[in-house]
Structure 1
Amino acid sequence: MIPDAPWLLDRERRCRRDGSGLTTADLLGCWRLERIWNKGSRQPASAAAALLRGLAARLRLSADGTGPEGGDLRLANSVRIGALELRFEGAGRLEGRRPLLVFSFERLLLLLGERVLIERALPQPDPLRRPFFALIAAERPLWLAARGRGGGLALWLLEETEGENEARVNEN
């Protein structure tokens, strides 16, 4: 079952009080953006979500070498039109009881297939202004919900787990 806004808002209220219980291991994989809600809205932003789905918006979360129990993550946030991909890559970690996934993007890439057309380092944000996702809930292997720093609510569907991606890479 993919949750609707009222269910997510109720879950978010409980999460603020009790925490979500989500761990780094719950987040690993490639997540496809499915729905978004603007700040304060109970209605999905259907046009914006359709555009982002059309652009194949993805959030890939992987363990940062220390393993899932280490807590550090690598993030890649991307959109794609055909073989042309715009990708932001960086690092993140879980903080607090809720928890927050606090992150910053370190570089921007424009790729055509596997070929890097443009690669730029990004400046580090002020530590007090770093972006984050306030994690609300996840039901593996289906979905993940979080609220961003700007107040919007997002729902992603799991496309592949980290282990599936590694197996696919090793096959080639």
Structure 2
Amino acid sequence: MISAASGPPAAALLARERQSRREGSGIQIEHLPGCWMLQQTWNRNGDAPAPGTATLLRWLQASLILSPCDQGLDITNQVTLAGFRLRFSGHAQLKGSRPLLMFSFTSMELSWSSQLLLQRSLPSPQPQRLPFFALIELNEQQGTLTARGRGGGLAQWSRLKPEAP
């Protein structure tokens, strides 16, 4: 289980976002690959969500997995519970100086243990309705990535360190 990460105060987070909008975050595509475990969320104003939300998402092991591919990045968003895994997979690209991680999920899978129970193709959204994360900050020292989603919410993930052989 991933322990709770103390998130930055709302004022500091929003100040970093304003700076990122003005100057860009400097995040490059080669810095993004890895498994990112969701640690904390905030609403569009930077306020904490309903009590227990972050704990529930950590308990479900909500994760964002990014890996390099020919067209940018492969993206996977998944949660797990009692051996069940719900996974959305697709493709992502980094655009602009802020930048935006634009993505589209092309498939959904439900599995239990290693057995695939359900797999569905997902329709592509209209280009102007593509979901995205506006990347605010990648803190390599702390191993965190902070972004605002298309819906306005803020999220912070921690990079899962690969296990040593």
User: Please, what TM-score do these two structures have when normalized by structure 2?
Assistant: 0.89
Deviations 1:96-120 (A, max 9, x none): 1100000000000001122111010
Which secondary structure state, in structure 2, belongs to the residue aligned with residue 120 of structure 1? strand
Query: Sequence identity, in percent?
Result: 45
1:99 maps to a residue whose letter is P
Contact map agreement 2:100 2:133 (CA 8 A) in 1:
yes
- Number of aligned pairs? 159
Aligned residue for 1:52? 57
RMSD: 1.8
Q: Quick one: distance in 2 between partners of 1:57 and 1:47?
A: 14
Distance 1:138 1:46, change over 3 A: farther
Which secondary structure state, in structure 2, belongs to the residue aligned with residue 17 of structure 1? helix
**2:98 equivalent to 1:93:** no
Aligned residue for 1:155? 156
**2:44 equivalent to 1:39:** yes
Aligned residue for 1:3? 8
**Once superposed, which parts of structure 1, at least 4 consecutive aligned residues long, lie more than 4 Å away?**
none
Aligned residue for 1:109? 109
2:131 maps to a residue whose letter is P
Q: Quick one: distance in 2 between partners of 1:45 and 1:95?
A: 32
Aligned residue for 1:74? 74
1:76 maps to a residue whose letter is T
Q: Quick one: distance in 2 between partners of 1:31 and 1:46?
A: 22
Structure 2 gaps of 5+ residues are 1-5
Contact map agreement 2:13 2:46 (CA 8 A) in 1:
no
Q: Quick one: distance in 2 between partners of 1:12 and 1:41?
A: 11
Which secondary structure state, in structure 2, belongs to the residue aligned with residue 3 of structure 1? coil
Higher fraction of helix: 1
